[in-house]
Amino acid sequence: MKRFYIVLTVALISSLWQNLNAEDINKKLTVEEIIKQANKVAYYQGKDGKAKIEMEIYNKNGKKRIRKFTVLRRDALPKDGKVKADDYCAEQKFYISFTRPADWNRTVFMVHKFINKDDDRWLYLPGLDLVKRISATDKRTSFVGSHFFYEDISGRNLNEDIHELIKESKTSYTIKNTPKKADTVEFSYYLIYVQKGTFLPYASEYFDKNGEKYREGRALKTKVIDGYLTVIEAEMNDSKIGGKTILKYSKVKYNINLPENIFTERFLRNPPRKFLR
């Protein structure tokens, strides 16, 4: 908790809270309202966006590997094209293009994220000039060899868990999330820590079937970009495999009007360079 307040400067907190009126601050929210707002802040800022990401993967001996890639994200918009204030769980499309290491250059991972069915996923391997459809049942496995899971990157469906507000302080909410189908995941439950006022989910902790904590995620740095409070550095560690992964975000932009046709198989082989720069 203290670590988070060091990251968010006093000036930033003051500015954000000045935008909230007394009625909003004192309003008693349900756990469903809190988790929806936190999910929106984590995964649905703006109608679309892009970011350059450097991934530092440390094994249990401290040896480091680097991955570099660009992420493009586009939300499914209502028919009128207007994003509503309560949009938090829309369908999304992701285009992830790798540049490092050298043997990963031009490798592309694309996801069409759905709410009521399994995601569609594709992987383009430039060395083989091969487009491969991949399974959507591996959400709880490592994302490109890191300590983050696929589900950490694109978000977990809120309907898959039972949410319980177990603690509330002057500055944060602690929410316990228990899977409805325990046999489909490796954890028994996980906790999400949400900043009051901003609804930023700044930490997560996962507990195994024996009730032991084994995974822990943290927001290390944040910044207001295009009016949105944005995590620009995050960490995930896993005590069972050892080591940790740090994500560093740069050149983050929102509402850049990404064309929908970018997120098709055609652009796996022909990357949209204009938007990847």
pLDDT band of 28, cuts 50, 70, 90:
confident
The pLDDT confidence band at residue 6, using thresholds 50, 70 and 90, is: very low
CA 22, CA 20: separation in Å to the nearest integer? 7
State residue 78's pLDDT score.
61
- The span from the CA of 211 to the CA of 15, in Å, is 39
Does 88 have pLDDT greater than 90?
A: no
pLDDT surpassing 90 at residue 83 = no
Number of domains in the chain: 1
> Which pLDDT does position 114 carry in this prediction?
87
Give the pLDDT mean for 26-46.
Answer: 90
Q: Which amino acid is at 250?
A: S
Check residue 64 and give its pLDDT.
97
Per the model's pLDDT, the better-predicted residue between 136 and 75 turns out to be 75
CA distances (Å), 114 to each of 11, 35, 120, 245, in order?
A: 38, 19, 8, 27
Note the pTM of the prediction, 2 decimals.
0.85
Structure tokens at 156: 């977990």
pLDDT above 70 (res 27): no
| Cα–Cα distance for residue pair 53/86, rounded to 1 Å | 28
Q: Compute the distance between CA of residue 79 and CA of residue 149 in angstroms, rounded to an integer.
A: 32
Reply yes or no: is the peptide bond before residue 101 cis, omega within 30 of 0.
yes
* Residue 35 to residue 103: CA distance in whole angstroms: 39
Question: What pLDDT score was predicted for residue 86?
Answer: 53
Amino acid in position 276:
L
Percent of the chain clearing pLDDT 70 (strictly above): 86
**Average of pLDDT values for 188-213?**
97
- DSSP structure string for 103-133: GGTT-EEEEEE-SSSPPEEEEEETTTTEEEE
Mean pLDDT of the chain: 88
pLDDT in tens, 210-264: 999 999 999 999 999 999 999 999 999 999 999 999 999 999 999 999 999 999 9
- Supply the range of the domain harboring residue 200: 2-276
pLDDT attached to residue 15: 43
How confident is the model at residue 3, as a pLDDT? 45
Q: What is the pLDDT of residues 98-123, one digit of tens each?
A: 999 999 999 999 999 988 788 899 99
264: domain CATH number is 2.50.20.10
79 falls in which pLDDT band (50, 70, 90)? low
CA 21, 222, 139, 148 dihedral sign is negative
Q: What is the pLDDT of residue 82?
A: 61
Nearest CA-CA partner of 134 in 112, 153, 155: 112
Pairing relation of β-strands 92-100 and 213-225? unpaired
- 48 or 135: which leads in pLDDT: 48
